[in-house]
Amino acid sequence: MDATTAGRAMPILVGAVGGLAWAASMRGMMAQLAGADSTFHWLGTFGFILIPGTAMGALFGWAFARRIAGRPRGAAWLTLAPFAMAADPATLPLLAAFIGAGFLFSHRSRRWVRLLAGIPSLLMLAAVPIGVALISDISTPHGAWLTVQIGALLWVPALAEIVLQSTRGDGAARVAAPQPLPGKDRRAAGQQAEAA
């Protein structure tokens, strides 16, 4: 494997491992919320949570690899990475909230469109930890820990989406680029260069 291939594969590998760790943490949080009623099954735990979470992380890694390489265009579909977790349809609103949070800060559409999609997404990302706080009794160490955990877990993919969908400052680059001189000034500059 050459250096170029390794450089492209490493972000995908890191993303996959991070996605697996994220999914495993999410499953642990779910077990804590369910308490004694929580059960683990091969299909439910691995098929619906761990493997899809790994795929989501790998797709995020691929998207970041393209961004680092300066090739963000043509990979807009990679921002749909959270939908790799859509094996459970009940998660669709939350997965859409991750993408909506990124779209809110993307500056890629009219402001009212971004607000229409982004504000409900942010409200959902805030409402879920609040709901957990009410259910688990945030006044106890265990309840406070669960609230912090779910809040942090939800914002990991949301922040990844915000970074991926944000602009790269192309406008600043265009402003900084030298502008072509008018014909008269260009001839004068050429004469000065010949004289030097």
Q: Domain range holding 129?
A: 3-168
Return the pLDDT at 82.
94
Is residue 90 in some structural domain?
yes
Band of residue 148 on the pLDDT scale cut at 50, 70, 90: very high
Looking at the domain assignment, is residue 190 inside a domain?
no
Q: Look at residue 49 in the predicted model and tell me its pLDDT.
A: 92
Per-residue pLDDT of 96-147, as tens digits, reads 999 999 999 887 778 889 999 899 999 999 999 999 999 888 899 999 999 9
Q: Per the structure, how many domains does the chain have?
A: 1
Looking at residue 68, what is its pLDDT?
Answer: 81
**Is residue 191 one of the residues assigned to a domain?**
no
C-alpha closest to that of 150 among 162, 138, 139, 163: 138
With cut-offs at 50, 70 and 90, classify the pLDDT of residue 78.
confident
Nearest in space to 48 (alpha carbons), one of 61, 30, 68: 30
| Integer Cα distance of 105 and 93 in angstroms | 19
Would you say residue 185 lies in a domain? no
Task: Give a yes or no: residue 96 inside a domain.
Answer: yes
Residue 54 lies inside a defined structural domain of this protein: yes
Q: How far apart are CA 105 and CA 118, in angstroms?
A: 8
Residues 6+ away with beta carbon under 8 Å from 98: 82, 121, 125, 154, 157, 158, 160, 161
Residue 16 belongs to some domain of the structure: yes
Give the pLDDT confidence score for residue 170 in this predicted structure. 43
Residue 53 — very low, low, confident or very high, per pLDDT cuts 50/70/90? very high
- pLDDT for 12 equals 93
Contact residues for 133 (Cβ-Cβ < 8 A; gap 6+):
143, 147
pLDDT of residue 177: 42
> Is 179 a domain residue?
no
The residue among 103, 76, 78, 87 whose CA lies nearest residue 158 is 103
